[in-house]
């Protein structure tokens, strides 16, 4: 069965600090994708990134970076120089299985001005 | 391009009633998925429609039903509402049957059961 664990339920940081959101997953699939979504207070989930299991190269996009390590089944997400607009709930997600997409419980990030 | 729109935004019902939630998919998308998100939880997959056919169903009872129309918009129907059905219902659209495509979500319908 697919499983996604986000151990951090809530994180608070002061604006301009860096913050890393953790995600650990379980799957029996040999090839798979992983996603991160952001859910601001408005409710709409916004797609941030998709990575496949073949590509463990870390990626940086502006203030966002991702660290995918297949050996530890982790797909962590870092925001550099956090801003108040980054305040949201962040979900890690794993497609596959009868659930189609399995989401973690989410990490609520609060950036304090 | 038009994004995913859901209606209504908020709804209050009582136990035992029936409800219909609606979703218009993003232009060019032929797959619609529905999720239930309880407070403080991640979205839980209800079912998915691809080209008007059900293409997968999560662990929800038969009183949760749906359909997809030729224009790829979709409805979620819930019969015999229970208190535990209170949640945010999210619709997401994507392209194709594959689960590995990014999904585009609407703002959701917040359903409260009294």
List pLDDT tens digits, range B64-107: 999 999 999 999 999 999 999 999 999 999 988 777 888 999 99
| 3-class secondary structure, A77 | strand
Q: Can you list the positions of beta strands (E) in chain B? A: 5-7, 10-13, 19-24, 31-37, 44-50, 53-57, 64-68, 74-78, 87-94, 104-105, 109-113
- What are the residues facing B62 on neighbouring strands? none
Task: Determine the Cα–Cα distance for residues B114 and B99; give it in Å rounded to an integer.
Answer: 35
Of A93, A90, A95, the residue nearest A110 (C-alpha): A90
State residue A23's pLDDT score.
97
Q: What local confidence, expressed as pLDDT, does residue B1 receive?
A: 58
| Per-residue pLDDT at B32 | 95
Tell me which chain B residue has its CA closest to the CA of residue A91. B42
Out of B99, B105, B110, whose CB is closest to A44?
A: B105
Query: In chain B, what residues touch A44 (CB-CB under 8 Å)?
Result: 105-108
B13 touches A: beta carbon within 8 Å: no
pLDDT in tens, B29-56: 999 999 999 999 999 999 999 999 999 9
Instruction: Give the closest of B56, B58, B102 to A50, CB-based.
Output: B102
Which pLDDT score is estimated for B15?
Answer: 97
- Ranges of residues in chain A with a pLDDT under 70 are 99
Do the Cβ atoms of A45 and B92 come within 8 Å? yes
CA–CA–CA angle B65, B22, B37 (5° rounding) = 70
Nearest-angstrom CA–CA distance, A86 and A82: 7
Q: Give the pairing type, strands B87-94 and B31-37.
A: antiparallel
What pLDDT sits at residue A18?
A: 97
DSSP β-bridge partners for residue A11: A109
pLDDT computed for residue B89 by the predictor: 97
Chain A residues with at least one Cβ partner in B under 8 Å:
4, 33, 35, 37, 42-47, 50, 52, 91, 95-96, 98-106
Q: Closest to B88 (Cβ–Cβ): which among A43, A96, A100?
A: A43
């Amino acid at each position: 069965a697919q499983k996604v664990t986000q151990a951090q339920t809530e994180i608070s940081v002061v604006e301009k600090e860096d913050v890393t959101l953790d995600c650990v997953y379980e799957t029996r699939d040999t090839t798979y994708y992983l996603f991160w979504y952001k859910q601001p207070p408005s409710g709409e989930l916004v797609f941030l990134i998709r990575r496949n299991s073949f590509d463990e190269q870390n990626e940086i996009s502006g203030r966002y970076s991702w660290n995918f390590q297949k050996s530890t089944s982790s797909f962590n997400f870092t925001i550099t120089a956090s801003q108040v607009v980054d305040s949201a709930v962040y979900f890690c997600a794993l497609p596959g299985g009868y659930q189609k997409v399995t989401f973690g419980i989410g990490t609520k990030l609060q950036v304090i001005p | 391009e038009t994004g995913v729109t859901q209606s209504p935004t908020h709804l209050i019902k009582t136990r035992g009633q029936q409800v219909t939630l609606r979703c218009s998919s993003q232009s060019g998308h032929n797959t619609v998925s529905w999720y239930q998100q309880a407070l403080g939880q991640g979205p839980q997959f209800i079912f998915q429609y691809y080209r008007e056919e059900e293409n997968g169903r999560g662990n929800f009872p038969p009183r949760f039903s749906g359909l997809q129309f030729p224009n790829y918009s979709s409805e979620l129907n819930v019969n015999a509402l229970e208190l535990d059905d209170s949640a945010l219902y999210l619709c997401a659209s994507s392209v194709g049957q594959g689960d590995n495509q990014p999904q585009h979500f609407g703002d959701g319908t917040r359903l409260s059961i009294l």
